[in-house]
Structures are given as structure tokens and as C-alpha cells.
Amino acid sequence: MPSLHKLQADFAGAVFSGGDHVDVLLAHCGGDRGRAAQGLEAYRRSVLANLGVAVQATYPVLEAIVGKEFLAAAARRYAMERPSTSGDLNAYGGDFDDFLARYEPAAALPYLPDVARLEWLVQQVYGAKDVPAQDFGILAATPPDRWGELRFRLDPAHACLESAWPLARIWEVNQPGYAGDFEVEFDRPQTVLIHRRPGGTAVEALNPGELDFLRTLGAGQTLAAAVDAAAQFETFELQTCMQRCIAVGLLRQVY
């Protein structure tokens, strides 16, 4: 009699790999093996379909780019190669970008893995915890010549992503209802900011230096240190950056 661990391994192999793994599992079954095989195949189809649908629901922009059938086929292959390790389907699909980077049918569109990374971050940002309202009382009470000593807490409902591709533009032209110019200059790298706002999640291109500025503040360093980090970019404008970060709710509190 095989151990429980062996039975579980054989069952997983039969569900996600099929082929000879099915025969190995059925060898442990008593009774009508034909009926057992039918039940296993029905269960296998259901599991792979549910995982595939979960992936497709997470990556609507990918679907807009490659089409429903292509994404469905990729999602099914992904489900077979990388089974879920959580009972929460919302947690499934986080390494789909890595899968796409190795998925030969997607090789002609090398920007797809970064699009997948962006869409996963969009989902994570959307589900991030709420934080207290913005409070800049300390900033208002501090003399301007000492602002450099202040530190800022950032809204956890945000993320930044560096890419060799124009992700903000790719995101924009693949949104439902978009009716503008569809031209994309694929030779323009972009760093994007993903942040939550009322009604959804926004994806915007960051200007040079803004990523370094936000990373430094996010690490708990002072405003002066953040400005120094961004100063390597001559075009960085502190006032413009601060106004934008406050307006979108990225800067939450001062301490």
C-alpha cells in the first residue's frame, strides 16, 4: 500500500501532467478503473479551467494584446506547469511574467513579461490596505528651512516598476473604451507609478529622478536625502514632484 505522500504526489501528477501519471494513479484504484478515469478527467478539466480563468481575469491587458484564445492557451499551460499552492485564487498567477518569458509562442512579443508584471502590481495595489487620511500638519508647522529634516510616510497602495518598454503607453492604449491614437514607440523605456485612486488604479509614467526620490522616502530617509538621490537627474523638479505626489495621495503623513 503506497504512503499518503506517494498517493498525493501521484494524484497531483495525474491532474497537472496527465499521461503516464494517470496510469500510475489508477493502478492504486480498486473497482471500475474506467469510471475512475472518467471522474479523474472531469476533475482535471475543472481544476485546470478554474486556474486558467483566474489567470485570465488577472491579466485583461495581456488579453487585449494577444487575444482571448492565445491567453487561454498560455494560462492552461501555466496551470499545468505551476499548480496553485494556495486556496485563494487571488494569490495565483504572481509568476506569470516569468512563465511568459520562457513561453516560446510569446517570444515575438518580448514586452509581454513586463506587461504581466505591471498587471500583477495593479492587482496588488488595488487590494492594499487602507491608511489614515493625509495629514501635513507637521509640514505646515515646520519652518521651510528645516523641511529637509522631515520624513514622509507613503501610501502602501502604490508600486513602481522600471521597464525597457513604454508600459504606461501600452497600458493606456489597451484600456476598454480607448479611442485615441494607438501608436506606441516601443524603443522608449519607462518607469511607471501604480497608485490607487477612487474608482480604480492608475498607471502613470514617472519623470527622471522621481523613482529615486520615492524610493528614498519609502526607505524612511529625510526629504533632503530624497532630493539628493534625485539630483543626479538635471531635469528633476522637486516642486512639481511634491505637488504630484500630494495630489494623487502618495504622500500621506509627515514625521
Statement to judge: residues 212 and 131 lie in one domain: yes
Find the domain containing 239 and state its range. Answer: 112-255
Statement to judge: residues 120 and 235 lie in one domain: yes
Statement to judge: residues 51 and 169 lie in one domain: no
Please enumerate in sequence order all residues whose Cβ is within 8 A of that of 178, keeping only pairs 6 or more positions apart, or say none. 172
Q: How many CB atoms lie within 10 A of CB 225?
A: 16
pLDDT in the model for residue 127: 92
Statement to judge: residues 105 and 143 lie in one domain: no
Statement to judge: residues 247 and 165 lie in one domain: yes
In the chain, DSSP finds a helix count (H) and a strand count (E) of 12, 5
Burial class (CB in 10 A: 0-12, 13-18, 19+), 85: exposed
- pTM of the predicted structure, to 2 decimals: 0.83
Q: How many domains does the chain have?
A: 2
Statement to judge: residues 98 and 117 lie in one domain: no
Per-residue pLDDT in tens (0 to 9) along the chain, 255 residues: 566 556 555 555 555 655 665 665 556 666 666 665 665 666 677 677 788 899 999 999 999 999 999 999 999 999 989 988 887 888 899 999 999 999 999 999 999 999 999 999 999 999 999 888 999 999 999 999 999 999 999 999 999 999 999 999 999 999 999 999 999 999 999 999 999 988 889 999 999 999 999 999 999 999 999 999 999 999 999 999 999 999 999 999 999
